[in-house]
Amino acid sequence: MKLRSICNNFFIFLFVFSAPFILYQLSADSTDSIRYSVADSHLHFVDFLQETDGIDSLLCAMENAGVDHCMVNGLPLVKKWDAIDAIRPHYYLEDDARIYWYSATDVIVARAVLGLSESERTRIHPFLCGFNATDRNAIQHVKLMYEWYPDLWEGIGEIQTRHDDLTALTYGERARANHMALDPIYAFAAEHDLPVCVHSDISSVWVHEPLYLHEMEEAVKRHPDTRFVWAHAGISRRIVVPTLVQDLRCMLKTYPNLWIDISWVVYPMDIVPNDTPNKDWVALVEEFPDRFMVGTDTVGHFGKYKKDILSYYVFLDALTPKTARLVARDNFLNILPQRVRDRLE
């Protein structure tokens, strides 16, 4: 008993005198590594089951990672839990169960954002996305969300079109960026000063050339008054296009209404392979410094958020300071509606 009392007193002493140091270290770890102010141009508030860590967790993660502003959208797709599968899948690649379109994702995002204080809401930029990109009725959903939540939406997307295995698992017709169902949505975006984020793979897994580049190009060309953000520069898992930099350069020279989001797999695969900035990508971004933006493509859960944000530092450090500021933060804010930019000034 005497030994137990001595041990207890020792641990109490250790905790009392070490706690301030531990708290200091935790605080230092959460702030000392922040060197850039970032606007995350691509984040999904929910996962493929429409579940989320919540808006408060997101704000905390943003604060810890030095993120001033964040694009927030839902996911217009849900992974089905088939009767034959014993384990509930949480990601679209976990098994071969199908995926279906889900419009209520926009309501989930709207309710979360509307519950924030006015100061918190200025940091969150909600985009609506809950429609089937092959359905000519999709524009009706966009109009309804805009009517139900006036002055809330600041963009449209991420519109899910051609997307490797996700396309293969989704019920119904294959979506594509130049589908006629999207033309009225692109026109609506231009009319209401909304940017549009589109996921459109530039090729397939087995073809190492820009097989589907024309789909994105036709959409951008047909709608010159619409601001397009091409998600992940057209790259998905296992898609390798050796001419990607040249293809992007040609698109950016030709279409002033096109921006590139370098989130997700294009970043580690093409832009900083082995954590080393690709000199061709550095040159491309420096050539078009106001046309690229960073994003995490986080899906509903924010435990790795700071790590994902800090991973961009190696590329930002390779750019000139002016370009780095544009890519890290300003380019995303500059594509938002004028009404939003006026509030941020």
Compute the chain's Rg from CA coordinates: 22
* CATH of the domain spanning 39-344: 3.20.20.140
Q: What is the pLDDT of residues 70-94, one digit of tens each?
A: 999 999 999 999 999 999 998 898 8
What is the per-residue pLDDT for 229?
A: 98
What is the per-residue pLDDT for 14?
A: 37
What is the distance between the alpha carbons of residues 190 and 222, in angstroms, rounded to a whole number? 12
Query: Two tokens at 203?
Result: 């090729």
**Do the Cβ atoms of 246 and 236 come closer than 8 Å?**
no
Q: What is the pLDDT of residues 177-226, one digit of tens each?
A: 999 999 999 999 999 999 999 999 999 999 999 999 999 999 999 999 99
Q: What is the pLDDT of residues 8-31, one digit of tens each?
A: 443 333 333 344 434 334 433 444
Report whether pLDDT(281) > 70: yes
What DSSP string describes 242-255? TTHHHHHHHHHHH-
pLDDT band at 5 (very low <50, low <70, confident <90, very high): very low
**Amino acid type, 324:** A
What is the distance between the alpha carbons of residues 276 and 324, in angstroms, rounded to a whole number? 16
